């Protein structure tokens, strides 16, 4: 090992003034069996550092055929290897100048061992959770009602929350929020999505009961619903106290529109609006703004038309999403395309900024429209 005198002699040869340096010099040596594969480095921001210091966990998720992501309880980060031209050394106990206690001006030499080294590290970038797979898994075995009599439920895969956490590249809070967005229910410990026909059947039972009892849509007693509909559907009737629910007018109208549109390629807009209004419960108002991200209007055709286009059926990747949208329609107004790209925006990004990055704009007949930046494959 080097002595202090040897270090000072080296500084003189290098023509470095000793007074320009910190008074403490570290003399590094490699420990036994040191290799670059012993450790991995990860760059963390202040928020993630504080989580680790508080004893919280960070989890790496992803199936074998997926790119790994890192999650805490409520956020998802992309993991990317970043190379560095400087060799990074792992030296336990080594302190930076600001961490050193008050020391005398006289030079000191400290000997420390290198435990490992690396020329790369994991770089984290906040990203949108990859949730499209969640609904795909749940749709492998949608729930179409309880088994009746000797009939057994159709076989198929079912997933608990722990199963979803193993398979989905998202944090727990993001998964829980998406389960609500897709109207999933926890049944016998497994998360299930109601088959659409069964969901509409249940909705029909409830709206008919509301109509027959002359209830307000904003005051629907749960206990009475369970009692009255128990003969039609096997339901869990446990209920502590009187619970009042309200039917969400926008969601009821939206579900009814999906039922009408799902079997038609295109629908004459004016005829659709008439049939739609007749199909929703009396007292509810069907409006086109309830269909954002569900249906696409074509105002340029004669007559005007409407067709089913669900945002959940579009690609999750940003570039693939834009390519898919521009393959469906060559030109989009911002009002038409906005519902289908809002979920792609980051925390501080607007749909306008996203369009500027991924589409070309022009003005036609006084209206700003957007075209693809690249040729669309046909």
What is the domain count for the chain? 3
Would 290 be classed as within a structural domain? no
48 domain-assigned:
yes
Final residue belonging to a domain, choices 210, 234, 258? 234
Alpha-carbon distance 378 to 364, whole Å?
24
Whole-number pLDDT of residue 39:
75
Model confidence, pTM: 0.78
Q: Are 30 and 38 in contact (CB under 8 A)?
A: no
Measured between alpha carbons, how far is residue 49 from residues 56, 153, 215, 319 in Å?
Answer: 10, 47, 54, 32
Residues 76, 26, single domain; the answer is yes
Residue 284 lies in a domain: no
Close Cβ partners of 112 (under 8 Å, ≥ 6 residues apart) = 26, 27, 28, 29, 91, 92, 93, 94
DSSP letters, 32-68, are TT--TTS---EE--HHHHHHHHTT---EEE--TTS--
Same domain (yes/no): 112, 20: yes
The answer to whether residues 59 and 136 belong to one domain is: no
In a domain, 273, yes or no: no
Co-location of 117 and 188 in the same domain = no
β-strand partners of 112: 28
Q: Is 2 within 8 Å of 27 (Cβ atoms)?
A: yes
Is residue 275 included in any domain, yes or no?
Answer: no
Look up the domain containing 45 and give its range.
4-126
Cα–Cα distance for residue pair 274/292, rounded to 1 Å: 19
Q: Would you give per-residue pLDDT tens digits along the chain (378 residues)? A: 778 788 788 888 888 887 777 777 778 888 777 776 677 888 998 989 999 999 998 999 988 888 889 999 999 999 999 988 888 888 887 777 677 766 666 777 778 888 888 888 899 999 889 899 999 999 999 998 877 665 667 788 999 999 999 999 999 999 999 999 999 999 999 999 999 999 999 999 999 999 999 999 999 998 888 888 876 665 555 555 678 889 999 999 999 999 999 988 899 999 999 999 999 999 999 999 999 999 999 988 899 999 999 999 999 999 999 999 999 999 999 999 999 999 998 777 899 999 999 999 998 888 889 998 765 444
Domain closes at, from 204, 234, 264:
234
Taking the alpha carbons at both ends of the chain, their separation in whole angstroms is 70
Are residues 205 and 135 both part of a single domain?
Answer: yes
Do 139 and 217 lie in one domain? The reply is yes
Specify whether the CB–CB gap between 161 and 190 falls below 8 A. no
């Amino acid at each position: 090992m080097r002595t202090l005198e040897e270090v000072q002699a080296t500084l003189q040869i290098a023509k470095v003034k000793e007074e320009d340096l910190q008074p403490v010099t570290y003399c590094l040596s490699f420990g036994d069996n040191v290799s670059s594969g012993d450790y991995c480095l990860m760059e963390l921001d202040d928020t993630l550092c504080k989580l680790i210091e508080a004893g919280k966990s960070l989890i790496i998720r992803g199936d074998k055929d997926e790119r790994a992501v890192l999650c805490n309880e409520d956020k998802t980060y992309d993991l990317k290897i970043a190379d560095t031209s400087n060799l990074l050394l792992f030296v336990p106990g080594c302190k930076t100048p600001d961490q050193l206690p008050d020391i005398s001006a006289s030079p000191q030499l400290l000997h420390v061992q290198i435990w490992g080294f690396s020329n790369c590290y994991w770089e984290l970038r906040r990203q949108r959770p990859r949730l499209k797979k969640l609904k795909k898994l749940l749709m492998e075995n949608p729930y179409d009602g309880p088994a009746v009599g000797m009939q057994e439920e159709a076989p198929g895969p079912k997933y608990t929350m722990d199963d979803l956490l193993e398979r989905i590249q998202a944090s727990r809070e993001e998964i829980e929020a998406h389960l609500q967005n897709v109207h999933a229910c926890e049944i016998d410990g497994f998360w299930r999505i109601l088959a659409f026909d069964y969901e509409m059947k249940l909705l029909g039972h409830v709206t008919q009961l509301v109509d027959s009892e002359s209830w307000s849509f904003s005051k629907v007693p749960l206990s009475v619903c369970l009692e009255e509909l128990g003969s039609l559907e096997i339901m869990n009737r446990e209920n502590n106290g009187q619970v009042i629910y309200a039917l969400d007018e926008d969601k009821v109208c939206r579900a009814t529109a999906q039922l009408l549109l799902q079997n038609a390629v295109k629908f004459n807009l004016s005829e659709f609006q008439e049939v739609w209004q007749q199909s929703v419960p009396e007292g509810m108002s069907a409006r086109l703004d309830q269909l954002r991200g569900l249906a696409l209007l074509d105002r340029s055709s004669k007559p005007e038309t409407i067709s089913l286009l669900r945002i959940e059926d579009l690609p999750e990747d940003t570039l693939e999403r834009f390519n898919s949208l521009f393959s469906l329609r060559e030109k989009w107004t911002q009002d038409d395309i906005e519902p289908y790209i809002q979920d792609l925006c980051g925390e501080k990004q607007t749909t306008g900024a996203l369009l500027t990055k991924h589409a070309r704009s022009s003005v036609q007949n006084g209206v700003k429209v957007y075209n693809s930046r690249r040729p669309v494959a046909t």
